[in-house]
C-alpha cells in the first residue's frame, strides 16, 4: 500500500489530482444548477417563459410585421398563431381656449383642463364635480380652480367651469362654451 508523504505533496503528486477532481465537481454542480434554474437556449424572447425584451426587439418585430402586412395583397386576417401587433397613436394635443368673464365652459367625458390665467369656479353636474389630479381631490360646486392644476371631467353631464374673469385654459377633449 502506498502512503503519501509531505514530500509527495511538495512535488504535486497529491495536490494536482485533488485540484482537478474539485474543479470537475464544481463544473458539474454549476451545470446542474443552471439546468434547474431554467437556463435554456430554447427560450424565445418575449414569450410567456421569457417576458422581458428590449425596445429595439419590439420595434424590430413590429417593423417585420408591418413589412409582412404591406407585402400581402390579400385582405385576409393574419393567422391566429402569429403575435398580435398593437399600434398606438399619439394622444391629442392640448388646445389653448380663451373663455370671457361670466361664460361657462361645459366639458365632455374624459376632458382634461388646466387653468393658465384668470380665475374660475367649478359648476357641478348631476353626477358631481371635477377631479383635481394635481391635488388628488374632488372639486365640487363653487370651488375655486387652482392655476396649473390638471382637472379631469369624468362624465358628460353638464359639469364645467364658469370664468370669473377673462381666462385662458389648456383643454384636451370635448368642450362647449355657453
- Give the pLDDT mean for 85-95: 75
pTM of the model: 0.51
Grid coordinates given for 36? 434547474
- What's the pLDDT score for residue 75? 47
* Torsion (CA) 8, 13, 16, 17 in degrees, nearest 10: -120
- What's the pLDDT score for residue 64? 84
**Residue 142 pLDDT exceeds 70:** yes
**Residue 76 pLDDT exceeds 60:** no
Which is nearest to 97 in space by CA: 150, 147, 171?
171
pLDDT in tens, 9-65: 566 566 677 788 889 999 999 888 877 766 556 666 666 666 777 778 788 888 888
- CA–CA separation, 172 and 155 (whole Å): 14
- State residue 43 phi and psi, 5-degree precision: -70, 140
- Give the pLDDT mean for 89-95: 80
Amino acid at each position: 500500500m502506498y502512503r503519501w508523504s509531505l514530500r509527495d505533496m511538495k512535488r504535486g503528486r497529491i495536490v494536482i489530482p485533488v485540484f482537478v477532481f474539485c474543479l470537475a465537481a464544481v463544473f458539474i454542480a454549476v451545470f446542474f444548477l443552471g439546468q434547474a434554474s431554467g437556463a435554456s437556449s430554447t427560450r424565445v424572447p418575449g414569450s410567456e417563459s421569457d417576458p422581458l425584451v428590449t425596445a429595439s426587439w419590439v420595434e424590430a418585430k413590429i417593423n417585420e410585421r408591418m413589412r409582412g402586412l404591406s407585402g400581402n395583397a390579400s385582405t385576409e386576417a393574419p393567422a391566429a398563431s402569429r403575435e398580435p401587433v398593437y399600434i398606438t397613436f399619439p394622444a391629442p394635443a392640448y388646445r389653448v381656449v380663451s373663455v370671457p368673464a361670466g361664460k361657462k365652459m361645459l366639458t365632455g367625458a374624459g376632458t382634461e383642463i388646466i387653468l393658465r390665467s384668470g380665475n374660475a369656479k367649478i359648476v357641478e353636474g348631476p353626477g358631481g364635480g371635477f377631479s383635481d389630479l394635481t391635488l388628488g381631490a374632488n372639486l365640487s360646486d363653487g370651488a375655486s380652480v387652482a392655476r396649473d392644476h390638471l382637472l379631469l371631467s369624468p362624465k358628460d353631464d353638464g359639469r364645467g367651469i364658469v370664468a370669473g374673469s377673462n381666462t385662458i385654459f389648456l383643454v384636451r377633449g370635448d368642450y362647449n362654451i355657453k
